[in-house]
Amino acid sequence: MDQLPIFMNLQGEHCLVVGGNAVAARKAELLKKANADVTLVTRELEGEAYRMVADGYLEWRDATFQRRYLDCVRLVIATTDDEDEARRVYNACIERGIPVNVADVPTMCTFILPGIVDRSPMTIAVSTGARSPVLARLVRRRLESLIPPSYGRLTTLLERFREKAKRCIEGVDNRQRFWEAVIEGPIGNMAMAGREKQAAAALDERLENRITEPDTGEVYLIGAGPGAVDLLTNQAQRLLSAADIVVYDRLVSPAIVDLARREAERIYVGKTAGQHALDQQAISQLLVDKARQGCRVARLKGGDPFIFGRGGEELEAIVQADIDFQIAPGVTAASGCASYAGIPLTHRDHAHSVRFITGHRHNGLLQLPWFDLARCSDTLVFYMGLGSLPEICSGLVDHGREPTTPAVVVEQGTTANQRVIRATLADLDQQVADVRPPALLIVGEVARLSRRFAWFAGDREQSAFMPGYCIDGRGPHDPTQATIGRHDDEDSVTTV
Protein backbone atom coordinates (compact mmCIF):
# COMPACT_ATOMS: atom_id res chain seq x y z
CA MET A 1 0.00 0.00 0.00
CA ASP A 2 1.72 3.16 -1.22
CA GLN A 3 -0.56 5.57 0.63
CA LEU A 4 -2.63 5.45 3.80
CA PRO A 5 -6.30 6.24 3.09
CA ILE A 6 -7.57 8.65 5.74
CA PHE A 7 -10.96 10.35 6.02
CA MET A 8 -10.48 13.92 7.26
CA ASN A 9 -13.06 15.80 9.34
CA LEU A 10 -13.42 19.27 7.78
CA GLN A 11 -16.60 20.28 9.62
CA GLY A 12 -16.41 24.07 9.98
CA GLU A 13 -12.74 24.16 8.91
CA HIS A 14 -11.45 26.89 6.61
CA CYS A 15 -10.19 25.57 3.25
CA LEU A 16 -8.65 27.36 0.31
CA VAL A 17 -9.08 26.65 -3.40
CA VAL A 18 -6.64 28.57 -5.60
CA GLY A 19 -8.19 28.94 -9.05
CA GLY A 20 -11.51 29.87 -10.63
CA ASN A 21 -11.94 27.35 -13.43
CA ALA A 22 -14.27 24.34 -13.77
CA VAL A 23 -11.88 22.11 -11.83
CA ALA A 24 -11.82 24.63 -8.99
CA ALA A 25 -15.61 24.61 -8.89
CA ARG A 26 -15.69 20.81 -8.62
CA LYS A 27 -13.10 20.73 -5.84
CA ALA A 28 -14.88 23.51 -3.95
CA GLU A 29 -18.18 21.66 -4.25
CA LEU A 30 -16.56 18.54 -2.81
CA LEU A 31 -15.21 20.48 0.17
CA LYS A 32 -18.60 22.09 0.77
CA LYS A 33 -20.21 18.65 0.86
CA ALA A 34 -17.80 17.87 3.70
CA ASN A 35 -19.20 20.99 5.48
CA ALA A 36 -15.99 23.00 5.14
CA ASP A 37 -15.86 26.80 4.79
CA VAL A 38 -14.37 27.41 1.34
CA THR A 39 -12.75 30.47 -0.21
CA LEU A 40 -11.72 30.79 -3.83
CA VAL A 41 -8.52 32.74 -4.49
CA THR A 42 -8.33 33.87 -8.12
CA ARG A 43 -8.37 36.90 -10.35
CA GLU A 44 -10.88 35.36 -12.77
CA LEU A 45 -14.03 33.33 -12.20
CA GLU A 46 -15.35 31.06 -14.93
CA GLY A 47 -18.65 29.28 -15.50
CA GLU A 48 -19.76 27.25 -12.50
CA ALA A 49 -17.28 28.96 -10.16
CA TYR A 50 -18.81 32.33 -11.05
CA ARG A 51 -22.32 31.04 -10.37
CA MET A 52 -21.35 29.58 -7.00
CA VAL A 53 -19.84 32.90 -5.91
CA ALA A 54 -22.78 34.91 -7.27
CA ASP A 55 -25.20 32.68 -5.32
CA GLY A 56 -23.26 33.25 -2.11
CA TYR A 57 -22.31 29.59 -1.93
CA LEU A 58 -18.57 30.36 -1.89
CA GLU A 59 -16.42 33.23 -0.66
CA TRP A 60 -14.13 34.86 -3.23
CA ARG A 61 -10.84 36.68 -2.74
CA ASP A 62 -10.09 38.62 -5.94
CA ALA A 63 -6.31 38.28 -5.84
CA THR A 64 -3.35 36.10 -6.67
CA PHE A 65 -2.16 33.77 -3.92
CA GLN A 66 -0.32 35.25 -0.93
CA ARG A 67 1.28 33.30 1.94
CA ARG A 68 -0.73 35.24 4.52
CA TYR A 69 -3.91 33.72 3.07
CA LEU A 70 -2.89 30.47 4.78
CA ASP A 71 -3.57 31.79 8.28
CA CYS A 72 -6.06 29.46 10.01
CA VAL A 73 -6.40 27.32 6.86
CA ARG A 74 -6.80 23.56 7.33
CA LEU A 75 -6.38 22.35 3.73
CA VAL A 76 -5.48 23.78 0.30
CA ILE A 77 -6.26 22.73 -3.26
CA ALA A 78 -4.68 24.52 -6.22
CA THR A 79 -6.18 24.30 -9.71
CA THR A 80 -4.51 27.37 -11.16
CA ASP A 81 -3.10 27.21 -14.69
CA ASP A 82 -0.20 29.42 -13.57
CA GLU A 83 2.70 27.03 -12.83
CA ASP A 84 4.62 29.62 -10.81
CA GLU A 85 1.59 30.33 -8.64
CA ALA A 86 0.97 26.60 -8.16
CA ARG A 87 4.54 26.09 -6.95
CA ARG A 88 4.28 29.05 -4.56
CA VAL A 89 1.12 27.52 -3.12
CA TYR A 90 2.80 24.15 -2.69
CA ASN A 91 5.97 25.51 -1.08
CA ALA A 92 4.03 27.74 1.32
CA CYS A 93 1.85 24.86 2.46
CA ILE A 94 4.85 22.58 2.97
CA GLU A 95 6.51 25.20 5.16
CA ARG A 96 3.41 25.44 7.36
CA GLY A 97 2.59 21.73 7.35
CA ILE A 98 -0.78 22.27 5.65
CA PRO A 99 -2.10 19.41 3.46
CA VAL A 100 -1.99 20.53 -0.17
CA ASN A 101 -3.10 19.13 -3.51
CA VAL A 102 -2.05 20.70 -6.81
CA ALA A 103 -4.43 19.30 -9.39
CA ASP A 104 -2.84 16.97 -11.96
CA VAL A 105 0.65 17.39 -10.46
CA PRO A 106 1.25 14.32 -8.24
CA THR A 107 4.72 15.53 -7.20
CA MET A 108 3.09 18.57 -5.56
CA CYS A 109 0.47 16.71 -3.59
CA THR A 110 0.69 15.66 0.03
CA PHE A 111 -2.72 14.04 -0.32
CA ILE A 112 -4.81 12.72 -3.20
CA LEU A 113 -8.53 13.20 -3.71
CA PRO A 114 -9.96 9.74 -4.47
CA GLY A 115 -12.93 8.78 -6.55
CA ILE A 116 -15.89 8.91 -4.18
CA VAL A 117 -19.06 6.88 -3.91
CA ASP A 118 -21.27 9.01 -1.69
CA ARG A 119 -23.86 7.03 0.24
CA SER A 120 -23.87 9.39 3.19
CA PRO A 121 -23.21 8.74 5.96
CA MET A 122 -21.36 5.88 4.24
CA THR A 123 -18.50 7.01 2.00
CA ILE A 124 -16.41 4.78 -0.26
CA ALA A 125 -13.15 6.03 -1.73
CA VAL A 126 -11.23 4.66 -4.72
CA SER A 127 -7.67 5.65 -5.60
CA THR A 128 -4.92 4.48 -7.93
CA GLY A 129 -2.36 6.68 -6.18
CA ALA A 130 -2.67 9.25 -8.99
CA ARG A 131 -1.39 6.66 -11.49
CA SER A 132 -4.66 6.50 -13.46
CA PRO A 133 -7.49 8.84 -12.43
CA VAL A 134 -9.56 7.57 -15.37
CA LEU A 135 -9.39 3.99 -14.07
CA ALA A 136 -10.36 5.19 -10.59
CA ARG A 137 -13.40 6.93 -12.07
CA LEU A 138 -14.43 3.79 -13.95
CA VAL A 139 -14.15 1.68 -10.79
CA ARG A 140 -16.12 4.30 -8.88
CA ARG A 141 -18.92 4.18 -11.47
CA ARG A 142 -19.02 0.41 -11.21
CA LEU A 143 -19.34 0.64 -7.44
CA GLU A 144 -22.05 3.27 -7.76
CA SER A 145 -24.09 0.87 -9.88
CA LEU A 146 -23.65 -1.94 -7.34
CA ILE A 147 -24.17 0.01 -4.10
CA PRO A 148 -27.61 1.65 -3.94
CA PRO A 149 -28.25 4.96 -2.16
CA SER A 150 -30.37 3.02 0.36
CA TYR A 151 -27.14 1.98 2.12
CA GLY A 152 -27.16 5.49 3.56
CA ARG A 153 -30.54 4.87 5.21
CA LEU A 154 -29.29 1.59 6.63
CA THR A 155 -26.16 3.24 8.05
CA THR A 156 -28.25 5.91 9.76
CA LEU A 157 -30.49 3.28 11.33
CA LEU A 158 -27.55 1.29 12.70
CA GLU A 159 -25.99 4.43 14.16
CA ARG A 160 -29.19 5.17 16.12
CA PHE A 161 -29.07 1.83 17.92
CA ARG A 162 -25.34 1.36 18.32
CA GLU A 163 -25.17 2.51 21.95
CA LYS A 164 -28.26 0.54 22.90
CA ALA A 165 -26.74 -2.60 21.39
CA LYS A 166 -23.66 -2.10 23.57
CA ARG A 167 -25.87 -1.98 26.65
CA CYS A 168 -28.10 -4.91 25.68
CA ILE A 169 -25.60 -7.36 24.16
CA GLU A 170 -22.45 -8.31 26.02
CA GLY A 171 -19.27 -9.19 24.16
CA VAL A 172 -17.81 -7.82 20.95
CA ASP A 173 -18.23 -11.15 19.10
CA ASN A 174 -21.87 -11.41 20.13
CA ARG A 175 -22.58 -7.88 18.95
CA GLN A 176 -20.84 -8.54 15.65
CA ARG A 177 -23.00 -11.61 15.01
CA PHE A 178 -26.08 -9.64 16.03
CA TRP A 179 -25.36 -6.78 13.62
CA GLU A 180 -24.58 -9.18 10.77
CA ALA A 181 -27.97 -10.85 11.29
CA VAL A 182 -29.71 -7.46 11.35
CA ILE A 183 -27.94 -6.08 8.28
CA GLU A 184 -28.41 -9.19 6.14
CA GLY A 185 -31.91 -10.03 7.39
CA PRO A 186 -35.42 -8.57 7.06
CA ILE A 187 -34.63 -5.54 9.25
CA GLY A 188 -31.79 -4.44 6.98
CA ASN A 189 -33.91 -5.03 3.90
CA MET A 190 -36.79 -3.02 5.38
CA ALA A 191 -34.48 -0.07 5.99
CA MET A 192 -33.04 -0.24 2.48
CA ALA A 193 -36.53 -0.47 1.00
CA GLY A 194 -37.47 2.84 2.65
CA ARG A 195 -39.44 1.35 5.55
CA GLU A 196 -37.27 2.95 8.22
CA LYS A 197 -39.99 3.20 10.87
CA GLN A 198 -40.84 -0.51 10.66
CA ALA A 199 -37.15 -1.41 10.64
CA ALA A 200 -36.45 0.76 13.69
CA ALA A 201 -39.39 -0.75 15.59
CA ALA A 202 -38.27 -4.30 14.78
CA LEU A 203 -34.67 -3.56 15.75
CA ASP A 204 -35.73 -1.93 19.01
CA GLU A 205 -37.88 -4.97 19.84
CA ARG A 206 -34.98 -7.35 19.23
CA LEU A 207 -32.74 -5.37 21.53
CA GLU A 208 -35.36 -5.00 24.26
CA ASN A 209 -35.96 -8.76 24.23
CA ARG A 210 -32.26 -9.59 23.91
CA ILE A 211 -32.92 -11.53 20.70
CA THR A 212 -29.49 -12.31 19.27
CA GLU A 213 -30.24 -15.29 17.04
CA PRO A 214 -30.72 -14.71 13.29
CA ASP A 215 -34.02 -13.42 11.96
CA THR A 216 -36.68 -15.72 10.62
CA GLY A 217 -36.40 -16.49 6.94
CA GLU A 218 -37.44 -14.34 3.99
CA VAL A 219 -38.22 -14.91 0.32
CA TYR A 220 -36.94 -12.66 -2.47
CA LEU A 221 -38.98 -12.90 -5.67
CA ILE A 222 -36.43 -11.75 -8.26
CA GLY A 223 -36.84 -11.02 -11.95
CA ALA A 224 -33.63 -12.13 -13.68
CA GLY A 225 -34.39 -10.34 -16.95
CA PRO A 226 -34.24 -11.75 -20.47
CA GLY A 227 -30.65 -13.03 -20.36
CA ALA A 228 -28.01 -10.31 -20.40
CA VAL A 229 -26.35 -9.99 -17.00
CA ASP A 230 -26.09 -6.21 -17.19
CA LEU A 231 -29.89 -5.93 -17.42
CA LEU A 232 -30.22 -7.24 -13.88
CA THR A 233 -31.37 -4.47 -11.53
CA ASN A 234 -29.31 -3.23 -8.59
CA GLN A 235 -32.03 -4.40 -6.23
CA ALA A 236 -31.95 -7.88 -7.76
CA GLN A 237 -28.17 -8.10 -7.41
CA ARG A 238 -28.30 -6.96 -3.80
CA LEU A 239 -30.95 -9.50 -2.79
CA LEU A 240 -29.32 -12.30 -4.76
CA SER A 241 -25.96 -11.71 -3.08
CA ALA A 242 -27.63 -11.91 0.36
CA ALA A 243 -29.48 -15.20 -0.26
CA ASP A 244 -28.68 -18.47 1.49
CA ILE A 245 -30.62 -20.49 -1.10
CA VAL A 246 -31.20 -19.77 -4.79
CA VAL A 247 -34.21 -21.43 -6.44
CA TYR A 248 -33.98 -20.86 -10.18
CA ASP A 249 -35.76 -21.65 -13.45
CA ARG A 250 -34.52 -23.04 -16.74
CA LEU A 251 -34.77 -19.60 -18.30
CA VAL A 252 -32.33 -17.92 -15.91
CA SER A 253 -28.88 -17.27 -17.31
CA PRO A 254 -26.15 -19.35 -15.60
CA ALA A 255 -24.07 -16.18 -15.38
CA ILE A 256 -26.81 -14.61 -13.25
CA VAL A 257 -27.09 -17.66 -10.98
CA ASP A 258 -23.33 -17.40 -10.48
CA LEU A 259 -23.75 -13.94 -8.97
CA ALA A 260 -25.03 -15.62 -5.80
CA ARG A 261 -22.66 -16.22 -2.90
CA ARG A 262 -20.40 -19.19 -3.48
CA GLU A 263 -21.69 -20.96 -0.38
CA ALA A 264 -25.37 -20.42 -1.27
CA GLU A 265 -27.34 -23.60 -2.01
CA ARG A 266 -28.68 -23.77 -5.58
CA ILE A 267 -31.92 -25.59 -6.36
CA TYR A 268 -33.04 -26.07 -9.98
CA VAL A 269 -36.81 -26.13 -10.54
CA GLY A 270 -36.92 -25.58 -14.30
CA LYS A 271 -39.74 -26.61 -16.59
CA THR A 272 -39.92 -27.66 -20.22
CA ALA A 273 -42.94 -28.93 -22.11
CA GLY A 274 -44.04 -32.09 -20.32
CA GLN A 275 -41.01 -32.13 -18.03
CA HIS A 276 -41.01 -30.37 -14.65
CA ALA A 277 -38.23 -30.70 -12.10
CA LEU A 278 -40.93 -29.79 -9.54
CA ASP A 279 -44.57 -28.95 -10.12
CA GLN A 280 -45.79 -25.47 -9.23
CA GLN A 281 -47.32 -26.45 -5.91
CA ALA A 282 -44.10 -28.17 -4.84
CA ILE A 283 -42.05 -25.08 -5.78
CA SER A 284 -44.28 -22.82 -3.69
CA GLN A 285 -44.05 -25.21 -0.75
CA LEU A 286 -40.26 -25.38 -1.12
CA LEU A 287 -39.99 -21.60 -0.74
CA VAL A 288 -42.15 -21.66 2.38
CA ASP A 289 -40.30 -24.59 3.96
CA LYS A 290 -36.85 -23.10 3.41
CA ALA A 291 -37.91 -19.70 4.75
CA ARG A 292 -39.40 -21.33 7.86
CA GLN A 293 -35.99 -22.88 8.48
CA GLY A 294 -34.61 -19.34 8.80
CA CYS A 295 -33.10 -19.14 5.30
CA ARG A 296 -33.08 -16.17 2.94
CA VAL A 297 -34.45 -17.66 -0.26
CA ALA A 298 -33.93 -16.02 -3.66
CA ARG A 299 -36.55 -17.17 -6.18
CA LEU A 300 -34.99 -16.35 -9.55
CA LYS A 301 -37.30 -16.14 -12.54
CA GLY A 302 -36.49 -15.28 -16.12
CA GLY A 303 -37.81 -11.89 -17.22
CA ASP A 304 -40.24 -10.41 -14.73
CA PRO A 305 -41.86 -12.65 -12.09
CA PHE A 306 -45.29 -11.07 -12.58
CA ILE A 307 -45.45 -11.41 -16.38
CA PHE A 308 -46.14 -15.05 -17.29
CA GLY A 309 -43.89 -16.06 -14.43
CA ARG A 310 -46.37 -17.47 -11.92
CA GLY A 311 -44.98 -15.07 -9.37
CA GLY A 312 -48.47 -14.35 -8.11
CA GLU A 313 -49.14 -18.01 -7.37
CA GLU A 314 -45.95 -18.40 -5.39
CA LEU A 315 -46.60 -15.15 -3.56
CA GLU A 316 -50.02 -16.42 -2.50
CA ALA A 317 -48.37 -19.34 -0.72
CA ILE A 318 -45.74 -17.09 0.88
CA VAL A 319 -48.33 -14.62 2.18
CA GLN A 320 -50.57 -17.40 3.46
CA ALA A 321 -47.62 -18.82 5.40
CA ASP A 322 -46.92 -15.35 6.89
CA ILE A 323 -43.38 -15.28 5.47
CA ASP A 324 -41.60 -11.97 4.93
CA PHE A 325 -40.85 -11.26 1.28
CA GLN A 326 -39.52 -8.70 -1.16
CA ILE A 327 -40.11 -8.35 -4.91
CA ALA A 328 -37.42 -7.25 -7.35
CA PRO A 329 -39.05 -6.64 -10.75
CA GLY A 330 -37.07 -7.57 -13.84
CA VAL A 331 -36.83 -6.48 -17.47
CA THR A 332 -39.47 -8.59 -19.13
CA ALA A 333 -38.61 -10.52 -22.29
CA ALA A 334 -40.86 -8.37 -24.47
CA SER A 335 -39.12 -5.15 -23.49
CA GLY A 336 -35.58 -6.55 -23.51
CA CYS A 337 -35.78 -8.57 -26.73
CA ALA A 338 -37.67 -5.89 -28.63
CA SER A 339 -35.12 -3.25 -27.66
CA TYR A 340 -32.18 -5.45 -28.65
CA ALA A 341 -33.89 -6.24 -31.95
CA GLY A 342 -34.51 -2.54 -32.67
CA ILE A 343 -38.31 -2.75 -32.30
CA PRO A 344 -40.19 0.01 -30.44
CA LEU A 345 -43.23 -1.79 -29.04
CA THR A 346 -45.27 1.39 -29.36
CA HIS A 347 -44.89 4.13 -31.95
CA ARG A 348 -47.14 7.12 -32.61
CA ASP A 349 -47.38 6.28 -36.31
CA HIS A 350 -47.86 2.51 -35.98
CA ALA A 351 -49.15 1.26 -32.63
CA HIS A 352 -50.57 3.04 -29.60
CA SER A 353 -50.67 -0.04 -27.38
CA VAL A 354 -49.07 -3.44 -26.94
CA ARG A 355 -50.38 -6.82 -25.79
CA PHE A 356 -48.40 -9.54 -24.07
CA ILE A 357 -49.85 -12.95 -24.92
CA THR A 358 -48.84 -16.48 -24.02
CA GLY A 359 -48.58 -19.06 -26.77
CA HIS A 360 -48.55 -21.86 -24.21
CA ARG A 361 -51.09 -24.58 -24.88
CA HIS A 362 -53.60 -25.63 -22.25
CA ASN A 363 -54.70 -29.25 -22.43
CA GLY A 364 -53.18 -29.37 -25.91
CA LEU A 365 -55.23 -26.43 -27.19
CA LEU A 366 -54.22 -22.88 -28.08
CA GLN A 367 -57.07 -20.82 -26.70
CA LEU A 368 -56.79 -17.19 -27.82
CA PRO A 369 -59.27 -14.39 -28.65
CA TRP A 370 -58.45 -14.64 -32.34
CA PHE A 371 -60.97 -12.14 -33.68
CA ASP A 372 -59.92 -9.44 -31.21
CA LEU A 373 -56.20 -10.00 -31.83
CA ALA A 374 -56.59 -10.03 -35.59
CA ARG A 375 -58.65 -6.85 -35.85
CA CYS A 376 -56.77 -4.62 -33.39
CA SER A 377 -53.84 -2.37 -34.29
CA ASP A 378 -51.85 -3.31 -31.19
CA THR A 379 -48.37 -4.71 -31.27
CA LEU A 380 -48.69 -8.38 -30.33
CA VAL A 381 -45.92 -10.07 -28.33
CA PHE A 382 -46.22 -13.84 -27.94
CA TYR A 383 -44.35 -15.55 -25.12
CA MET A 384 -43.74 -19.32 -25.30
CA GLY A 385 -45.13 -19.29 -28.83
CA LEU A 386 -42.46 -21.05 -30.86
CA GLY A 387 -44.13 -24.47 -30.75
CA SER A 388 -47.44 -22.90 -31.81
CA LEU A 389 -46.01 -20.42 -34.29
CA PRO A 390 -47.65 -21.84 -37.48
CA GLU A 391 -51.01 -21.92 -35.72
CA ILE A 392 -50.56 -18.36 -34.40
CA CYS A 393 -49.70 -16.97 -37.82
CA SER A 394 -52.53 -18.78 -39.61
CA GLY A 395 -55.02 -17.95 -36.86
CA LEU A 396 -54.31 -14.23 -37.12
CA VAL A 397 -54.56 -14.28 -40.94
CA ASP A 398 -57.73 -16.40 -40.94
CA HIS A 399 -59.42 -13.93 -38.62
CA GLY A 400 -58.52 -10.75 -40.48
CA ARG A 401 -54.87 -9.76 -40.14
CA GLU A 402 -53.15 -9.01 -43.43
CA PRO A 403 -50.75 -11.78 -44.51
CA THR A 404 -48.15 -9.07 -45.20
CA THR A 405 -48.14 -7.94 -41.55
CA PRO A 406 -44.50 -7.79 -40.36
CA ALA A 407 -43.53 -10.51 -37.90
CA VAL A 408 -40.22 -11.04 -36.12
CA VAL A 409 -38.85 -13.88 -34.04
CA VAL A 410 -36.06 -13.01 -31.60
CA GLU A 411 -34.07 -16.06 -30.53
CA GLN A 412 -31.94 -15.91 -27.36
CA GLY A 413 -32.61 -12.20 -27.12
CA THR A 414 -30.14 -9.78 -25.46
CA THR A 415 -27.35 -12.39 -25.44
CA ALA A 416 -24.28 -12.97 -27.58
CA ASN A 417 -26.24 -15.63 -29.49
CA GLN A 418 -29.18 -13.40 -30.34
CA ARG A 419 -30.71 -14.03 -33.75
CA VAL A 420 -33.44 -11.97 -35.40
CA ILE A 421 -35.66 -13.54 -38.07
CA ARG A 422 -37.65 -10.94 -40.01
CA ALA A 423 -40.57 -11.97 -42.20
CA THR A 424 -44.37 -11.64 -42.49
CA LEU A 425 -47.28 -13.64 -41.11
CA ALA A 426 -47.53 -15.38 -44.47
CA ASP A 427 -44.01 -16.81 -44.53
CA LEU A 428 -42.56 -16.61 -41.03
CA ASP A 429 -43.22 -20.29 -40.23
CA GLN A 430 -41.02 -21.25 -43.20
CA GLN A 431 -38.06 -19.35 -41.76
CA VAL A 432 -37.89 -20.70 -38.20
CA ALA A 433 -37.23 -24.40 -38.67
CA ASP A 434 -33.84 -24.20 -36.91
CA VAL A 435 -34.90 -21.80 -34.16
CA ARG A 436 -34.78 -23.16 -30.63
CA PRO A 437 -36.32 -21.82 -27.41
CA PRO A 438 -36.19 -19.38 -25.84
CA ALA A 439 -37.68 -17.25 -28.60
CA LEU A 440 -40.16 -14.39 -28.72
CA LEU A 441 -42.64 -13.55 -31.50
CA ILE A 442 -43.49 -9.90 -32.22
CA VAL A 443 -46.27 -9.07 -34.69
CA GLY A 444 -47.26 -5.61 -35.94
CA GLU A 445 -46.19 -2.66 -38.06
CA VAL A 446 -43.52 -1.68 -35.52
CA ALA A 447 -41.70 -4.91 -36.39
CA ARG A 448 -40.89 -3.37 -39.76
CA LEU A 449 -38.70 -0.81 -37.97
CA SER A 450 -36.35 -3.55 -36.80
CA ARG A 451 -34.51 -3.26 -40.10
CA ARG A 452 -34.00 0.46 -39.67
CA PHE A 453 -33.18 0.49 -35.97
CA ALA A 454 -30.90 -2.57 -35.84
CA TRP A 455 -27.99 -1.83 -33.50
CA PHE A 456 -26.95 -4.85 -31.46
CA ALA A 457 -23.83 -6.90 -32.28
CA GLY A 458 -23.29 -5.70 -35.84
CA ASP A 459 -26.82 -6.12 -37.17
CA ARG A 460 -26.99 -2.59 -38.54
CA GLU A 461 -23.88 -2.93 -40.69
CA GLN A 462 -23.99 -6.58 -41.75
CA SER A 463 -27.61 -7.63 -41.98
CA ALA A 464 -29.18 -7.57 -45.40
CA PHE A 465 -32.49 -7.82 -43.54
CA MET A 466 -32.98 -11.34 -44.80
CA PRO A 467 -35.05 -13.73 -42.69
CA GLY A 468 -32.86 -16.08 -40.72
CA TYR A 469 -29.75 -13.91 -40.69
CA CYS A 470 -27.88 -14.07 -37.38
CA ILE A 471 -27.33 -10.51 -36.26
CA ASP A 472 -24.04 -11.10 -34.49
CA GLY A 473 -22.60 -12.65 -37.63
CA ARG A 474 -21.69 -15.94 -35.96
CA GLY A 475 -24.64 -18.26 -35.68
CA PRO A 476 -27.10 -19.54 -33.13
CA HIS A 477 -24.76 -22.00 -31.40
CA ASP A 478 -21.47 -20.10 -31.19
CA PRO A 479 -19.27 -21.71 -28.49
CA THR A 480 -17.90 -18.29 -27.55
CA GLN A 481 -21.29 -17.13 -26.35
CA ALA A 482 -21.21 -15.25 -23.02
CA THR A 483 -24.59 -16.33 -21.65
CA ILE A 484 -27.50 -18.53 -22.60
CA GLY A 485 -30.56 -16.58 -23.74
CA ARG A 486 -33.51 -16.52 -21.38
CA HIS A 487 -37.04 -15.17 -21.26
CA ASP A 488 -39.84 -15.16 -18.72
CA ASP A 489 -40.99 -18.33 -16.98
CA GLU A 490 -42.46 -20.74 -19.49
CA ASP A 491 -45.54 -22.19 -17.81
CA SER A 492 -48.38 -19.67 -17.90
CA VAL A 493 -51.60 -19.17 -19.83
CA THR A 494 -52.70 -15.61 -19.26
CA THR A 495 -53.43 -13.05 -21.96
CA VAL A 496 -52.66 -9.43 -21.16
Calpha distance 211→201 (Å, rounded): 14
266 pairs with which residues across the strands?
A: 246
Binding residues: 22-23, 43-44, 226, 302-304, 307, 332-333, 384, 413
Distances (CA, A) of 57 to 35, 50, 132, 157, 257: 12, 10, 31, 31, 48
Binding residues for S-adenosyl-L-methionine: 226, 302-304, 307, 332-333, 384, 413
Kindly report the backbone phi and psi dihedral angles of residue 130, in degrees, each rounded to the nearest multiple of 5, phi listed first: 70, 10
Binding residues for NAD(+): 22-23, 43-44
State the maximum Cα–Cα separation within the chain, in Å, rounded to a whole number: 89
Q: 105-140 burial, b for 16+ CB within 10 Å, e for fewer?
A: eeebbeebbbbbbebeeeeeebbbebeebeebeebb
Whether the Cβ atoms of residue 217 and residue 306 lie closer than 8 Å to each other: no
**Residues labelled as active-site residues:** 249, 271
Distances (CA, A) of 66 to 11, 42, 70: 25, 11, 8
- Residue 410 neighbours by CB under 8 Å, 6+ apart: 337, 338, 340, 341, 418, 419, 420, 421, 439, 440, 442
- Residue 153 neighbours by CB under 8 Å, 6+ apart: 191, 192, 194, 196
DSSP-derived letter for residue 309 is S
